[in-house]
Amino acid sequence: MSLDRIRPSRSRADSPLTAAILAGRWIRSAAVDDEHGRYWRANPDSRGRSAVSPEPLSLYSGAAGIVLFFLELAAATGHEAYLEDARLGADRLAATWRSQTDLTLYHGLTGTMITLIEAGWALGESRYEAEAAAIAETIASRARRTGDGVGWTLEPSQRGDGGIILGLLRAAAHFGVPAYQDLAIEAGLRVARLPVPGHGFGNCGEAPADLPPDAVTPGFLSGTAGTAFLLARLYGLTDDRRFLAAARSGADFVRAVSSVSERCAVVPHHLPQGRGLYYLGFCSGSAGVARMFYELYRVAGDPADLEWLERLANGITGSGVPYRQTEGFWNVVCQCCGTAGLIELFVGLWAVTGEAGHLEYARTLAANLIGRATDHDGTGYRWYQAYRRLRPGEVTADTGYMVGAAGIGAALLHLDAAGQPDLARRVILLPDNPFPAIPVPPSALRRADT
């Protein structure tokens, strides 16, 4: 077999926009239409299977995330055909959301609501907004009151109540319903009263299957950093210092358990068993933890938080990735725990600091990411990865947002937007992303206007 047959692609001079378009082509090959609209198979490869359990509607790996990608692809290219992809996906979400029992952001109704809000705004379709409003009302109605406050799940982290609260805040602002904000604040106060909020499982919920039940997790989706991010967001909204004190408690814990050398820092995946395992990605590593420190800086203005944001960024760049794989940054490229999540971080850092090195590193990451794309059958770009670190031989390609091509394409589109200050455009950021929705620093925008 010749090398040309086994290389990921014949050319690796693709721009981020071109690579995102080719990712969209592959996702389109996975489309399935029914009487309700459109969804996308998680892996359309012959005999292919997904890296995750089936979630056909979810933001994490299903239609909700793919709709967001097509909305962004339409905005970046000006091609209305992508709006039709998004419309058909939104149709199905609007028609079938009542079958979802999970309420959370990434795996349930909160994520569906966010997508329908974005679809309604971009497509000018009031029916999507109406369904999103109905979801918000459903989420609010399912809040449970207990002796220690109000909530939905037994878990305070982003994968539980934290993500739901962020979604309710978004709904309150979008629909102008103060009751949603009041409920979110009340639920947040329950979280704020927990000791070092969100970092342990214990009686707060179930530990992920790959963690011991007594694990303590400093990271974002399932740990302290994500919960501290939520509490910082609530402080910025309310000026209630109970939220700031609790967020500081979480941030102090993350600092205390991190490994620091000179101006670099890395955060352990879990304690005490994973003390020497340092993820770099969004879900449980530096890219996610950095969001917490930036949110704290944004709402409280302490330069020490911005310094820690830079420490975490330096820890990533100093690790040798993307050219070197580490135990905590293995053969993985997705938004959740891989290269695409790092691109999101460094594009965000560029937008808030204007430091050219951050944008240049994002471009380095993107070049490596594009170089790893595969188009062996002419149907578009997909990325094969070992999504589960503990199963390195289980290599798959997915279409979804947090785990596959849609999220990778979105990260590339955000980089594309950052590189064009003269054509600045809004990008779609999820509620747990604190960076500017126009990913260009004000100084660059002023230069573009002159």
Mutual angle of helices 339-353 and 405-418, in 10-degree steps = 20
Q: Which residues contact 46 (CB under 8 A, 6 or more apart)?
A: none
**Amino acid in position 364:** T
Q: What is the pLDDT of residue 209?
A: 56
Q: What is the pLDDT of residue 51?
A: 84
* Backbone dihedral angles phi then psi of residue 44, each to the nearest 5 degrees: -80, 0
Q: What is the pLDDT of residue 273?
A: 86
Sign of CA dihedral 204, 207, 213, 217: negative
DSSP 81: H
Burial 159-186 (b: 16+ CB within 10 A, else e): bbbbbbbbbbbbbbebeebeebbebbbe
Neighbours of 2 (CB within 10 A): 6
Taking only the tens place, the pLDDT of each residue in 51-87 is 888 889 999 999 999 999 999 999 999 999 999 999 9
Q: What is the pLDDT of residue 424?
A: 85
**Which regions in the chain score pLDDT beneath 50?**
1-11, 201-207
Q: What is the pLDDT of residue 15?
A: 95
Q: What is the pLDDT of residue 444?
A: 81
Residue from 104, 310, 339, 69 nearest 205 by CA = 104
Taking only the tens place, the pLDDT of each residue in 9-44 is 444 558 999 999 999 999 999 999 999 999 999 999
**Mean pLDDT (the chain, rounded):** 92
User: Which structure tokens are listed for 444?
Assistant: 């660059």
pTM (two decimals): 0.94
DSSP 159: I
Distance of CA 69 to the CA centre of its chain: 12
